[in-house]
Amino acid sequence: MPVRAKPFSAAEIRTIFGRRKVSGALGNRILSVLHGRRLSGTLDLDLPADITSTVPQSTLDAGLKWLRTNYPIDEDAAILARIEREELEEEQRLIRRAEELGLYKPQSGSFGAERSEEDGVWGKSILKNIRRRNEARLLAEEEQRRKEWLEGEQREREALQRQIQQNTSLQKFEGSAVVDARPRADPKERPVLAWAQKHYLRAMDNDYSKLSEMTTSRRLVPALIVTLITLGLCYIYAESYQPPQRSDRMWPNVYPAAATAIAMIGINVGICILWKCWPPSWRMLNRYFISVPVYPHPLSLVGSIFSHQTFKHLAVNMTMLWFIGTRLHDEIGRGSFIAVYLACGVVGSMASLTAHVLLGKLMVTSLGASGALTGLIAAWCMLHADDKLTFFFLPPEWRDTFSAPGWVALTGIVTLEVLGLLSPFPALRVASLDYYAHLGGYLTGALWAVAWKAERAKKQKENRPWLEKVFYRE
């Protein structure tokens, strides 16, 4: 905004800005911009680039000082007027926006105001209208998802049948668990069942098109690597484990063997409850807590030894863990006990996976602590190979009759397992037993016990006095 109608001459510009080199045209532009900013209350905003890039701040300060001296105005009032103007413009913008959205309407009691649904004078509720629209939209989306859920069963069945026709690896399993024929539940009528079915399908969402690429080596080599790593870690753990002081234990008043067994039973019970009661966990459990030869996950060799899908299976195995495991724990200590448990379980799982893959039984599933428990039984029997073993629940007068040395008892147990595995008569074979995992556990536990006894004898010999060593050699 020009300061006056007639521009300032070059001599006046030199007088205003002093010895600073400012041309007449630039001086008039600086004064008009500064004067306009004073009147509009916008001195705090940045000046045009052609001014700030040409003259220093001291020149601008000199021009502003001259204007305030010769053309005084109330700059504070101009700033307040600018704030009020901006607030009014913002309010008008919001009103226009509200009118566009249909939210701004005449208030009740004024001309043109709409009455409420109940014919009240307070007017219609815009928020109620918005909520009705949102509820209708959500219901429509839910109905669309329900429709897609019910119609998706046939589409998935057709897609799976196409995969079976294209993949020779799946054709012989068409009548098995690959095709699930159970109809889908309507979410409106049976919401809990539909919720469980959705998680079931999500858990069973395997890419069967890749099964043709799964060779025997791709199924077994990663699992073998995990087995070897687990055995190495078990050895390191058993050798480096140091029992904590009683004050440092989590349950200081519980006997160590009982505390270990309770902790392991708790893990098994927790995973069984997830299988039974929490469908969102099924996808994770299918990957890492059950061994399936058709599409094996290597880490499932470890997870499956803590996994049970029925309470009967869980109860049998945990009972064996309590009565056999606590006794073995007392004799060898916690570090060796946990290492033996894991090693026998993983080797048993690897033996089961290898046997089923080589025999072509790719849809057989395997889980449970049986392989680990058979290893504990074999270790106990071999540690007491020459001791008479009997059943603790027999009356005292019968225990001598029904007793045998540890190696005889183990031989008998393994013989029954082998007969059950090789028997041509289905009546003599229990279909639910994983004989290969059991035999892998027996072998691992027996080998460990032999090595542990040899190591213990070596340490005892090294700890004898030198004189006893001489007589011992003689």
- Of 41 and 467, more confident: 41
Q: How confident is the model at residue 383 (pLDDT cuts 50, 70, 90)?
A: confident
Q: Is the pLDDT of residue 405 over 80?
A: no
Per the structure block, which two tokens stand in for 389?
A: 């073993």
User: Which tens digits make up the pLDDT trace of 192-234?
Assistant: 666 666 666 666 655 555 566 678 888 899 999 999 999 999 9
More confident residue, 91 or 163: 91
pTM: 0.61
For residue 439, pLDDT over 80 is answered with yes
pLDDT number for residue 339: 93
Residue 319 in this model has a pLDDT that exceeds 60: yes
Other beta carbons within 10 angstroms of residue 237's beta carbon come to 15
Q: Can you give the pLDDT at residue 463?
A: 64
Residue 76 has pLDDT above 70, yes or no: yes
Q: Which residue has the tokens 């509200």?
A: 98
Task: List the catalytic residues.
Answer: 370, 438
DSSP-assigned letters across all residues of 94-132 = HHHHHHHHT---PPTTSTTPPPPTT--TT---HHHHHHH
Amino acid 232: pLDDT: 94
pLDDT surpassing 50 at residue 179: no
Q: How far apart are CA 295 and CA 298, in angstroms?
A: 10
Ranges of H-type helices in 241-325: 256-277, 282-288, 300-303, 311-320
Model confidence band, residue 314 (pLDDT cutoffs 50, 70, 90): very high
Question: What mean pLDDT, rounded, does the chain reach?
Answer: 79
Note the pLDDT of residue 473.
Answer: 42
Query: Mind listing the pLDDT tens digit for each residue in 234-287?
Result: 999 998 988 888 888 888 888 888 999 999 999 999 999 998 888 888 888 888
Whole-angstrom distance, CA of residue 156 vs CA of residue 126: 44
**β 388-390/403-405 pair status:** antiparallel
| Domain range list for the chain | 1-102, 208-470
